[in-house]
Structure 1
């Protein structure tokens, strides 16, 4: 079933089920450098990417690439070419928006609770599935599931999670801790074989003490930023 015809809830269910894979294999990788992500983290909307702005930037880049390809091929395509900006139906408006919606769906968690030990880490994300990894010196850890494969491990000071799903869809999360250990950036990249350019969202989180929050916000393509109060 093509990526565009599979509903986002169905894709999320695949992600949830793939976390229960059974067989494992190991790949070569780089060791970590003493980074500790443990703690409670709250999304900083002011420092994180705006979904709509990232989507607009992606569309502009795809249009520029299509125009360059057309010029190289001796074609003269007007600026108002419509949402289909690639040849053969690729890079359609539906596929681009679907990619952005998928990125939004899997990065909307406002709160993280991270538990890290010497040999493993668990990134519990509110409103979505957790990210888990076992550490193996000098190696990435890969789990094969009926739905694809999940690979994770240290790349220098960064922790990388890569999920390969059916229908040419892949997701990568790159976690980077700030110099003073109080800020966490998670760069999430979603790739589809229906779109020739990846969609990346950077989410920035700050450490916080549980119980001190006064409000919670979410931001989506359809409703923008929505904030609600919560009990202290």
Structure 2
């Protein structure tokens, strides 16, 4: 009987040991599953885009000068424009109120679009920014320009309408790895922005094309280079007793708060 009891005790200890091993194994196997559930799922339906993000500064040496580009365009179109000009005895063209963009008034007509000079002046006006700030996530790109509304577009393949009212319609989309915005204004005036970034994400090119009534566009190319935004020299906080208090970056302002 004593021998049988010893055997039973040894079997019981073995059973407990294997039960513990099984419990630990099950727990270990469950840990990766929990970790996998907490990981963010990669949406394979969203295409991968080049990185446009950063602070960009205009490179004037590589960018078009609008007056030089206008002169070149006028030389190319001179003969064609001369043939298309109306003769003095042609019927009158009824004018309608002009379109105002910034401080530029573009004449409206029922037959002909705005002149190439007007389009060039408009291109110069809307391309006046010397810096551009671009923020990019996995889902969208935000292009911030001083004095202008931000351009926002998703990364999807489909054409996206980003704005629409009585003043115009804005759509955006992708042509390969080029980001394209098209703004359609009254009287068949169209502004198109085409952004391209280099493979090393150090050079940004922006082609702006302006069309009027389906005619030939005026094109203006701008080049931007990436730069590091300088860190603010001063840190400022707002206090109740002393108003706004500023100190050099990195300095401890806790004493100001204590006072």
Shorter-chain TM-score tier? 0.5 to 0.7
Aligned: 1:34 with 2:54: no
Residues 160 and 97 (structure 1), Cα distance of their counterparts in 2 relative to 1, 3 Å cut? same
Q: Which runs of structure 2 are paired with 1:64-83 in the superposition (5 Å)?
A: 64-66=79-81
Kindly name which structure, 1 or 2, has the bigger radius of gyration based on alpha carbons. 2
Query: In the alignment, which of 114, 117, 120 is matched to residue 140 of structure 2?
Result: 120
The total of aligned residue pairs comes to 162
Residues 171 and 32 (structure 1), Cα distance of their counterparts in 2 relative to 1, 3 Å cut? farther
Q: Deviations over 1:189-226 (max 9, x none)?
A: 01112x832111101000001129xxxxxxxxxxxxxx
Aligned: 1:130 with 2:150: yes
Query: In the alignment, which of 143, 152, 171 is matched to residue 151 of structure 1?
Result: 171
Aligned: 1:205 with 2:224: yes
Give the TM-score taking structure 1 as reference length.
0.63
168-177 or 118-127, which moves further after superposition? 118-127
Structure 1 runs of 4+ with >6 Å offset = none
Residues 57 and 32 (structure 1), Cα distance of their counterparts in 2 relative to 1, 3 Å cut? farther
Q: Deviations over 1:104-151 (max 9, x none)?
A: 111111011100111111100123332111333x20111332222111
Q: Is residue 109–residue 128 contact of structure 1 (8 Å, CA) maintained in 2?
A: no
User: 1:170: Cα distance to partner?
Assistant: 0.5
Equivalents in 2 of 1:198, 1:204: separation in Å? 19
Q: Deviations over 1:77-99 (max 9, x none)?
A: xxxxxxxxxxx99477xx22211
Query: In the alignment, which of 71, 83, 89 is matched to residue 56 of structure 1?
Result: 71
Residues 181 and 102 (structure 1), Cα distance of their counterparts in 2 relative to 1, 3 Å cut? same
2:159 matched to which residue of 1?
140
Q: Deviations over 1:32-67 (max 9, x none)?
A: 552110000000000001111110112112213235
Unmatched segments (≥5 aa) in structure 1? 1-30, 76-87, 213-232
Aligned: 1:46 with 2:61: yes
Equivalents in 2 of 1:211, 1:205: separation in Å? 17
- The SS at the match of 1:188 is strand
Which structure's residues are more often helix, by fraction? 2
Equivalents in 1 of 2:47, 2:169: separation in Å? 22
2:241 matched to which residue of 1?
none
Unmatched segments (≥5 aa) in structure 2? 1-45, 88-109, 232-259
Equivalents in 2 of 1:89, 1:161: separation in Å? 26
Q: Is residue 135–residue 141 contact of structure 1 (8 Å, CA) maintained in 2?
A: no
Equivalents in 2 of 1:66, 1:38: separation in Å? 42
Q: Deviations over 1:159-187 (max 9, x none)?
A: 00011010110000000001321000000
Q: Is residue 211–residue 218 contact of structure 2 (8 Å, CA) maintained in 1?
A: yes
